[in-house]
Every structure is written in structure tokens, then in C-alpha cells.
Copies of this chain bind each other. A is one copy, B any other.
Amino acid sequence: MKIVDQLREGDKRAAAKLISMIEDDDPGATAALAEIFPHTGKAHIVGLTGPPGVGKSSLINRLVREYRERSKKVGVVAVDPTSPFTGGAVLGDRIRMADTGSDPGVFIRSMATRGHSGGLALATFDAVKVLDAYGMDIVFVETVGAGQSEVDIASRAHTTVVVQMPQSGDSVQALKAGILEIGDIYVVNKMDLGGGDTMASNLDFMLEERQGWRPPVVQTAALDGRGTKELADALTKHYRFLKRGPLWRGREADRARKELFESMRHLLAETFSDDTAGIGFEETVGAIVARKTDPRTAARKLLKGLKLPR
């Protein structure tokens, strides 16, 4: 496809257009993604998560500049609906974005949270693939810490960064359940607020080595750029640890398995949403509601009679 050639030649508008096609469920997107796929797997994919207002976007903004100084190409995909990248300023704190217009080595994009049938996680990681094939060295996925998408994204990135900020009171209690398990790197941002040292050492105390990696706690202040270099170094260190270690193959397979199941689900949803094909999906739903059949028996029957479109 022409758009794929343009993307591979470094045409930034081709990247933007392809991601829009993904968001719009454009049929051409599927073909393009298949063509792109062999060119992916080169970028370091970093998931960055944390509650709203913690300064994730400012932090990424600093990281973008840092990576450009290191002559690395960097992409950002924001899934957080409150992210300044999407236009919504948090706490009135508008940040000045790294110049993204003219520099082909930077691409920042926020994903619409509605509209694609495959789910946000699928669309997001399709966008990441576009940036990967475009030639980015590192791609950040920014997500707000809220439920399913957060967990999905953590399980798909190579490196998950959990961002927190200093808190009054007992910071241990305030940590969301499960947060200590998902991060490869922890960041205490807004160190300028004070109280960050305590939080950082509390965090450090609670974190344990998992599979040979002990998550470091990096202290940053996106406001003045403090800690940005240290965070970038920690990211590189974790990526090298993964690539050179025994975990890489297993994680790649896990990711592939997950994506395979998600694609199947997407394909099934697509198939069954077209009820004119006489598949009787909505009829089956009605039979379940009326307790005439149970979901398992119905699922088996639907899969047995499955005829994929096209």
C-alpha cells in the first residue's frame, strides 16, 4: 500500500493518517497493519500510568526533549482523556509541548476514547505499531490509572512506569491496590512540592525484586526537569535487562498470545454485529434472556456455525 510506503519513508502525515484510519475502523487499516507488522518490534514500548494531575504529560514532555538530545526518535500515544495532549488541561496547568510540528523525530498523538469496535487497548497498540514501523526508537503510552485499560496496557508495554506524587498523610494507604505489582520503574514526580523524599523511601521499602529486576524509584520534578536524565537512564537499563535476559522470549510470546485472542474477539464481534448475514446472534441473545438456552451452549453453537465475512 502507498500509505505504508510513505510511512516507511518517514512521512509523518502518513503516520497521522494511518492512526486516524485505525480510530475510524477503516477497512484499509487492517490491510495496512498486516503490511506494517514485519517492520515492527524495534521500538522500546513504555507504558506510563498514574492518577490524573500527577504530571504524566509534563514528564513525557521532558523525556521527549531528553531523547531528542540523545538523537533518539520518540513517539507518544496518550490514552488519558484528561491529558493535556488531548487538549484538556489538568488543574489549569497548561504545558508547553515539545515542538512536534516540524521535527520528524517526534510524534505525539492522543487516541479518541470512543468509536473503534476493537476496544481502546487494541487501537492504542495498533497506533504504537504504526510509530514502531515509522522508525521510532521509543514509544510512550500515557494512560490514566483507571481500571481495565491500565492493566491491559501494562501487560503490553515492555516497561511500565508508575507515576505518583508526594501525598499528605499516610502515603502507603493512598496507593491504589495492585499498583506495587505492575511497575518496572516508579516515579515520584513533583518533588518540588515537598514530602517526596518520604514517599520515595516508603515506596522503595515496599518494592521487591521480581524475576531478577528490582524496580527503582526515580525522583523527578517535571517543572524544572530534575530527574529526567535519571529516568531515561532507568528506562534504557530496564530495556537492556529485558532484551539480554531470559524473560524476553516468554514475554514476547505472552504478548502475541494476548493479541491473537484480542484479534479473534474483534473478528467475532465484527462477524456477529452483522445480523443480516442470518447468523442469528441477536436471536440467541433473546433466547438467553428468556432462559431458553444458556450462554455456554449458545457460544458453542455460534462458534460451530461460524462463517467469517469476506
Contact = CB atoms under 8 A, between A and B. Distances in A.
Interface of A: 30, 33-34, 36-41, 51-53, 144-148, 150-152, 168-169, 173-174, 176-178, 249, 252-253, 256-257, 259-269, 284-286, 288-289, 291-300, 302-304, 306, 308
11 contacts: A33-B294, A36-B294, A37-B295, A51-B177, A145-B177, A168-B169, A257-B285, A263-B299, A264-B303, A266-B296, A267-B296
Contacts of A267: 296, 299-300, 303
Contact of A256 (B260, B263, B288): B288
A263 to B, nearest CB: 4
Contacts of A146: 176-178
A53 to B, nearest CB: 8
Given A168-B169, A268-B264, A308-B303, A295 B259 contact: yes
B264 A302 contact: yes
B299 A256 contact: no
A13 to B, nearest CB: 23
Contact of A291 (B38, B257, B269, B286): B38
Contacts of A265: 261, 264-265
Nearest to A304: B308
Contacts of A291: 37-41
A177 B52 contact: yes
A292 B38 CA distance: 7
A302 B260 contact: yes
A147 B300 CA distance: 29
Nearest to A263: B299
7 closest cross-chain pairs (CB), A and B: A263-B299, A37-B294, A256-B288, A146-B177, A259-B295, A148-B148, A264-B299
Output the residue of A36, A52, A146, A264 with the most chain B CB within 10 A.
A264
Contacts of A262: 295
A33 B291 CA distance: 12
Nearest to A146: B177
Given A177-B145, A306-B306, A294 B257 contact: no
Output the residue of A259, A265, A289, A292 with the most chain B CB within 10 A.
A289
A150 B149 CA distance: 12
